[in-house]
């Protein structure tokens, strides 16, 4: 994250006169302290916040919203519901297991900061060994029961909220701020966590995800689930992410995690494959009926296709009445004919022949025999469709034609016979001969042959890479463009992918679900920018293979550029005035002009500011506030250093406002900043490999 401390925005409020009503507190009161209660054989510490004060006549008061805890170099705000009464009594357990219904300080830090955070670990160390905690109230000024001031987390901030009377100042000094309390060692319960995912293999779709971080037993068991439309494949288990990413999937439907001092987090991933049903073939077929001249094979009626798409069964087909000048020839094509449609006989042609009533004159004596011409390739691969064409053969008699084509193709299988040409394919390699005998209209013949060499059916491997070739984005590797002779096609279940890192990344940065075998296409995610080698090997049904490889470059995912715009020229201070018609509030506006240099979407942004409460020009010792909707502001619970290093926009922000507005009655200098974060679109990545740290962010502190 970029840090810029040389350029500070200082914003000043010029104060107009405004009456401030003093607030008085009673002189009686009790300090913040630690009490102990025995529960289940252990002694638990409770932070007791017990103050007693009352307001004098007037409309200006303050409300308590929580307590700031300081221990070592860490600070944490334990927020409580706003209590309009000045006499308050809170009893808050320090650690879990005390039997209290109130949320413990341990639980609150864990839920907000995470069990692995430095502040949580420091707090648990303090609880185990005992030590001192300093408490400071988290208060806000109210006028006529309406919150008008900023939050105060230190004594100086509280005193600056209003012109308080001496009794209230005394209460702040003696009861609300800088209260130290000693804590005896606590019975800290050790907790463990487990990350359980159920994933569709091959595509990475997460079917179910369960995360549990409050396990107290030394073992925990998970098991495969039943998902409609899916079959269980296997599972992986381990105590690190690498154990999942680089482990082997085993046909184990139940996993048990054994926890100890070095194994506190377990990962159980279960994999499933989608069940695909065979296509439903409709039980229908086609009957096409032709009515033709016996001598010329010319259609005398249009082909009858009215029986296309009819159901399986037996049908009686009869010839039509004789066309003019023709007589039906029942000796060649009887009528009626019984036709049966079923799964193995789904398309049937019925031909009825008619003789012309006009006598056909006998052909003149043959002058010459025909000339047989055969066109076919000299060399093909086994499994390739071969066209042997005799269509260029001709009759050497005036007005003559070729009446018949007789092909012979030893070693080949027939695909179709189309009269003047045939389509065939060779299942084996070797040298073969194709023969053609052409017969003309007089019955004279001529023959020709052609030698063809059949070579092994070697496939050709092709790699196509699609998707966004950038860190943490889904890249799809496709071998579906590979090809092989059609009768020895590529078997995708035998396809093998191999992906290696050349520079920039390592094998651990190559992420995918399932396996690199048995699939024509594969979705892959690269965790680091760099150069990678992709290799694929395809195998056809003949058993021959081919390989190819491609070098791909994965670009870095550039962080966004945080930019804040003020409605004033550069170098001119931004000044706002308190408005008597608006409850004596001053209004500031600044605009979010952040951008992504590589075109990503910025979906989270927070505005931040601090008030220079002691007017010393130093903002690093002040309390910082944030807004994630552009208008509502809350305390970060941190000073400058901790806000810069630890304020987590990921878990706080829900949008990216284009404008931030602050309304305040405080007089002096303000310091503003903006922090933004990009998103990664779900369709552009593999969600199971994305963690919080993968989302790029920036600020202009």
**Distances from the Cα of 291 to the Cαs of 29, 285, 303, 350, 352, in angstroms?**
114, 20, 7, 9, 5
What's the CA gap between 130 and 389, in Å, rounded? 97
DSSP 27-78: S-----EEEEEEETTEEEEEEEEEE-----SSSEEEEEEEEEEEETTEEEEE
Q: Model pTM?
A: 0.49
Biggest CA pair distance of the chain: 141
Residues 34, 45: contact at Cβ < 8 Å?
yes
Q: Among 105, 171, 103, which Cα is nearest to 137's?
A: 171
List of residues 6+ apart from 324 with CB closer than 8 A = none
Predicted confidence at residue 26, as pLDDT, reads: 29
Which residues is 83 bridged to in the sheet? 64
Q: What is the mean pLDDT of the chain?
A: 87
Evaluate if residue 19 carries a pLDDT over 80: no
> What pLDDT band is residue 171 in, cutting at 50, 70 and 90?
confident
464 secondary structure, DSSP code: E
- Residue 536 tokens read as 């694929």
Q: Can you list the positions of beta strands (E) in 72-130? A: 74-83, 88-93
- In the three-class reduction of DSSP (H, G, I as helix; E, B as strand; rest coil), residue 126 is classed as helix
Predicted confidence at residue 241, as pLDDT, reads: 80
188 secondary structure, DSSP code: P
Predicted confidence at residue 17, as pLDDT, reads: 25
Q: What are the pLDDT digits (tens) for 562-571?
A: 999 988 887 7
Q: What are the pLDDT digits (tens) for 388-426?
A: 999 999 999 988 999 999 999 999 999 999 999 999 999
Evaluate if residue 29 carries a pLDDT over 50: no
List of residues 6+ apart from 120 with CB closer than 8 A = 109, 110, 113, 114
Parallel/antiparallel/unpaired status of strands 474-478 and 464-467? antiparallel
């Amino acid at each position: 994250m970029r840090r810029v401390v040389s350029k500070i925005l200082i914003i000043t409020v010029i104060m107009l006169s405004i009456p401030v009503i003093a607030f008085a507190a009673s002189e009686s009161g009790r300090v913040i302290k630690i009490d102990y209660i025995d529960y289940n054989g252990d002694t638990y510490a409770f932070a007791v916040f017990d103050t007693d004060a009352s307001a004098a006549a007037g409309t200006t008061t303050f409300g308590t919203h929580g307590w700031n805890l300081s221990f070592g170099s860490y600070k944490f705000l334990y927020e409580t519901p706003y209590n309009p009464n000045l006499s308050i009594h809170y009893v808050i357990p320090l650690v879990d297991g005390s039997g209290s219904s109130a949320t413990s300080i341990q639980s609150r830090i864990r839920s907000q900061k995470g069990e692995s955070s430095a502040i949580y670990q420091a707090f648990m160390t303090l609880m185990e060994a005992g030590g001192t905690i300093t408490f400071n109230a988290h208060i806000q000024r109210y006028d006529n029961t309406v919150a008008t001031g900023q939050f105060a987390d230190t004594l100086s901030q509280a005193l600056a909220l209003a012109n308080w009377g001496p009794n209230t100042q005394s209460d702040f000094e003696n009861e609300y701020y800088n209260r130290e309390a000693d804590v005896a060692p606590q019975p800290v319960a050790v907790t463990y966590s487990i990350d359980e995912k159920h994933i569709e293999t091959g595509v990475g779709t997460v079917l179910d995800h369960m995360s549990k971080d409050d396990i107290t037993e030394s073992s925990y068991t998970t098991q495969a689930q039943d998902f409609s439309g899916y079959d269980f494949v296997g599972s992986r288990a381990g105590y690190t992410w690498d154990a999942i990413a680089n482990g082997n999937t085993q046909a184990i439907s139940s996993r048990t995690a054994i926890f100890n001092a070095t194994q506190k987090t377990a990962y159980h991933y279960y994999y499933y494959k989608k069940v695909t049903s065979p296509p439903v073939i409709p039980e229908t077929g086609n009957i096409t009926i032709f009515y033709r001249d016996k001598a010329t094979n010319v259609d005398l009626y249009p082909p009858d296709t009215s029986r296309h798409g009819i159901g399986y069964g037996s049908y009686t087909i009869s010839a039509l009445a004789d066309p003019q000048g023709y007589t039906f020839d029942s000796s060649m094509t009887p009528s009626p004919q019984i036709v049966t449609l079923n799964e193995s006989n789904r398309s049937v042609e019925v031909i009825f022949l008619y003789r012309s009533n006009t006598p056909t004159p006998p052909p003149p004596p043959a002058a010459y025999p025909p000339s047989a011409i055969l066109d076919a390739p000299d060399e093909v691969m086994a499994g390739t469709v071969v066209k042997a064409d005799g269509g260029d053969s001709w009759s050497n008699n005036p007005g003559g034609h070729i009446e018949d084509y007789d092909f012979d193709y030893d070693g080949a299988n027939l695909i179709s016979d189309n009269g003047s040409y045939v389509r065939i394919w060779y299942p084996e390699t070797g040298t073969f001969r194709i023969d053609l005998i052409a017969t003309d209209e007089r019955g004279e013949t001529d023959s020709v042959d052609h030698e063809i060499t059949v070579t092994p059916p070697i496939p050709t491997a092709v790699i196509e890479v699609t998707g966004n070739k950038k860190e943490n984005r889904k890249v799809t590797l496709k071998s579906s463009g590979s090809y092989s002779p059609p009768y020895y096609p590529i078997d995708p279940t035998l396809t093998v992918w191999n992906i290696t890192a050349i520079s920039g990344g390592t094998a651990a940065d190559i992420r995918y679900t399932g396996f690199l075998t048995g699939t024509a296409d594969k979705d892959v995610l690269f965790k680091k920018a760099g150069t990678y080698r992709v290799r694929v090997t395809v195998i056809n049904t003949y058993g021959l293979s081919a390989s190819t490889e491609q070098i791909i470059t994965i670009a870095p995912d550039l962080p966004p550029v945080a930019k804040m715009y003020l409605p004033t020229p550069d170098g001119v201070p931004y000044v706002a005035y308190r408005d008597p018609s608006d409850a004596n509030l001053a209004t500031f506006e600044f605009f979010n002009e952040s951008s992504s240099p590589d075109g990503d979407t910025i979906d989270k942004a927070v505005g931040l500011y601090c008030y220079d409460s002691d007017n010393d020009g130093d903002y690093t010792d002040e309390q910082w506030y944030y807004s994630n909707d552009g208008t509502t502001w809350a305390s970060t619970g941190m000073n400058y250093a901790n806000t810069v290093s630890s304020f987590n926009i990921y878990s706080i922000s829900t949008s990216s406002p284009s404008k931030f507005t602050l309304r305040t009655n405080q007089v002096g200098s303000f310091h503003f900043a903006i922090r933004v974060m990009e998103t990664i679109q779900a369709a552009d990545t593999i969600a199971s490999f994305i963690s919080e740290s993968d989302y790029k962010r920036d600020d202009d502190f």
